[in-house]
C-alpha cells in the first residue's frame, strides 16, 4: 500500500464522522528525509484540493533529529494551500533556543508541547496568540515535567492564553481525551483542581483553535 492509498483509507474512516468530531493532520517525521517529506506534502496538497478532510500538517518525531530550517519551504507551501500548521517544539532541554525561534518564524497556528520555551519564545507565542497543545499524561510519563503543580499549563491558564487539551498518543500513554480533562478537575496532587467553569473555558479554547476554524475548511 502506498502512502497516498494509506491516507485515503484513513480519511474514509475520518469522514464517517461529523466535521466537528474528526479531521486529519498529516505528520512530517523529523527522522525521514526530504524525498519522503516532499511526497507527504504533495499528498496533503492533493487531498486538500480534492476537498477531503485533510486539515493540517504537523512536524513531529525524534525532537533531536534534522535541521529544522529544511522544513521552511514545506510549511510555506502548506500554508499557501490553506492548511493549518502545528509544530512539536521545545520538547526537551536539548532542543536549542535557536531551533525554537526558527520554528516560531514559520508562524504556526499551534504548538505541540512547548515545554521548554525560553523567555523570548514565550513573548513571541503570547504576541502571536499561538495555541499550545497540552498533553498532561504524556509529559508526566516522559518525565519532561516533574508534576502537575509545576506544569507549564499553569503559566498559560494564568494569562488566559489559548491552549488545547490533547492526548499526544492515546495507546502508549494509556489515556483518552476524557481522562486528560479529568486531570484538570481532580484535586492536587492528582490533578490541577480547576473549577467546572475553568474547565469549560479550556474546552472552548480548544474548540476555537481547531484547524477548521483557523483555516475556514469547508
8 A C-beta contact, residue 28 and residue 40: yes
Q: How far lies 177's CA from each of 72, 116, 121, 213, in Å?
A: 31, 23, 28, 20
Q: Is 128 a catalytic residue?
A: no
DSSP letter for 165, please.
E
3-state secondary structure of 206: helix
Q: What are phi and psi of 24, to 5 degrees?
A: -115, 135
- Is the Cα torsion angle 178, 210, 103, 2 positive or negative in sign? positive
Please state, in angstroms and rounded to a whole number, the distance separating the CA atoms of residues 137 and 113.
11
Sheet holding 163-165, edge to edge: 24-29, 54-60, 84-89, 110-113, 131-134, 163-165
3-state secondary structure of 75: helix
Q: Which of 5, 35, 91, 120 is catalytic?
A: 91
- Cell numbers describing residue 111: 504548538
- Cell numbers describing residue 110: 499551534
Residues with a catalytic annotation lie at: 91
Amino acid at each position: 500500500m502506498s502512502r497516498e492509498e494509506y491516507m485515503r483509507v484513513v480519511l474514509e474512516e475520518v469522514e464517517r464522522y461529523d466535521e466537528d468530531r474528526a479531521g486529519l493532520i498529516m505528520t512530517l517525521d523529523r527522522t525521514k528525509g526530504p524525498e519522503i517529506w516532499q511526497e507527504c506534502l504533495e499528498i496533503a496538497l492533493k487531498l486538500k484540493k480534492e476537498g477531503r478532510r485533510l486539515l493540517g500538517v504537523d512536524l513531529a518525531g525524534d525532537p533531536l533529529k534534522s535541521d529544522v530550517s529544511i522544513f521552511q519551504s514545506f510549511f510555506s507551501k502548506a500554508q499557501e494551500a490553506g492548511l493549518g500548521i502545528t509544530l512539536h517544539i521545545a520538547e526537551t532541554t536539548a532542543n536549542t533556543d535557536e531551533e525554537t525561534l526558527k520554528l516560531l518564524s514559520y508562524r504556526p497556528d499551534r504548538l505541540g508541547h512547548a515545554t521548554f520555551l525560553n523567555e523570548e519564545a514565550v513573548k513571541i507565542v503570547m504576541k502571536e496568540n499561538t495555541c499550545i497543545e497540552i498533553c498532561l499524561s504524556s509529559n508526566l510519563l516522559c518525565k519532561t515535567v516533574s508534576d502537575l503543580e509545576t506544569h507549564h499549563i499553569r503559566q498559560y491558564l494564568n494569562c488566559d492564553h489559548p491552549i488545547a487539551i490533547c492526548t499526544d498518543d492515546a495507546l502508549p500513554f494509556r489515556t483518552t481525551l476524557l481522562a486528560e480533562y479529568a486531570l484538570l478537575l481532580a484535586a492536587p496532587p492528582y490533578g490541577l483542581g480547576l473549577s467546572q467553569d475553568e474547565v469549560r473555558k479550556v474546552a472552548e479554547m480548544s474548540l476555537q483553535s481547531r484547524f477548521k476554524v483557523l483555516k475556514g475548511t469547508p
